[in-house]
Every structure is written in structure tokens, then in C-alpha cells.
A = this chain, B = another copy of it.
Amino acid sequence: MESDLQPLIQALRDFAQARNWEQFHSPKNLASALSVEAAELLEHFQWLTEAQSRSLPADKRAEIGTEIADVFLYLLQLADKLGIDVIEAARSKMLVNAQKYPAPSPPA
């Protein structure tokens, strides 16, 4: 399925190919890199209270946006290597979650 993500995925392929980085981009290595980036994102929050994390100053928020991008870019590359459509995978997982954690009935 063509999606908004397709141009990004193609750009990531071109970027890696132009730098001859495909040799490094085994799924194993991309999964490590993804985990490392997720931790860099977490690092911004580690000493904050939950309340502070809900009202970040603009500069901190911008830095965190960059880390979110890093996580997303590795996630797209890993999924692409494995032939997985992240949007489809996310939709399927939400159906599983809905069955696993049924919503409480609303009050009558």
C-alpha cells in the first residue's frame, strides 16, 4: 500500500545506498540502533517528574522531537528490511490490544 511513509522509506534507502552503509544495516544492527536511540530519548526524561514531563519548555521539546525522529527513522529502516508495513502492523496490533484489554462498559 502506498502511504505517506513511502517517500521517507525510499529516501532512507537512497541515503544508505549513497553512503555504502547497507553492509552495516543488518536487521540485527538496526534493532540495536533503534534501541540505542530509544534510550537517548528516554534520557531526556530520566530525572524529570511526570508532571515536568507533561509541560516541557520549547527548547527541550525540540530536542526530544529530534530523538523521536531518530527512533522513527531506524524503525522505518528495520521494517523496510523485513518487508513489514508499519501502519498495517500497528493496525493489527491495535485489534489484538482491544481484545486483550476490553474497555469497561460505560455507566448506564
Contacts and interface: CB of A to CB of B under 8 A. Distances in A.
Interface string A8-51: 10011001001110001011110111111011111111111111
Chain A, interface residues (CB within 8 Å), range: 35 or more
Contacts of A64: 27, 82, 84
Interface in A54-75: 54, 56, 61, 64-66, 68-73, 75
Contacts of A20: 104
B41 A34 contact: yes
Contacts of A52: 28
A108 interface: no
Nearest to A92: B69
